[in-house]
Amino acid sequence: MNTRIWIAAAAASGVMALAGCAGGPNEQLGTAGGAVAGGVLGHAIGGNTASTVGGAAIGGLVGNSVGRSADQRNNYYPNNGPTY
């Protein structure tokens, strides 16, 4: 049980750290929110660590895409893309 908690915490920390590299504010929120929701849903469906991590990864990708669409719709990216 403790191993599962540590693995899930490490996966969540990694996703949150990578969410900071995203572009706009909605993209960041979408990535973090999608990862959390995906992890919860993955754990509810599979009940093991692999399904939790997989759900968090897929949820993060979907949330990132939705947030990026919202940022583009709100003209957050003036030149049609983030500048680094």
The tens digit of pLDDT for each residue in 2-42 reads: 777 777 777 776 766 665 565 778 888 898 899 999 999 99
* Residue 62's pLDDT band (cuts 50, 70, 90): very high
Q: Output the DSSP codes for 23-73.
A: SSHHHHHHHHHHHHHHHHHHHHHH-SHHHHHHHHHHHHHHHHHHHHHHHHH
* pLDDT (0 to 100) of residue 28: 85
**pLDDT at site 21:** 60
pTM here is 0.65
Mean pLDDT taken over the chain? 80
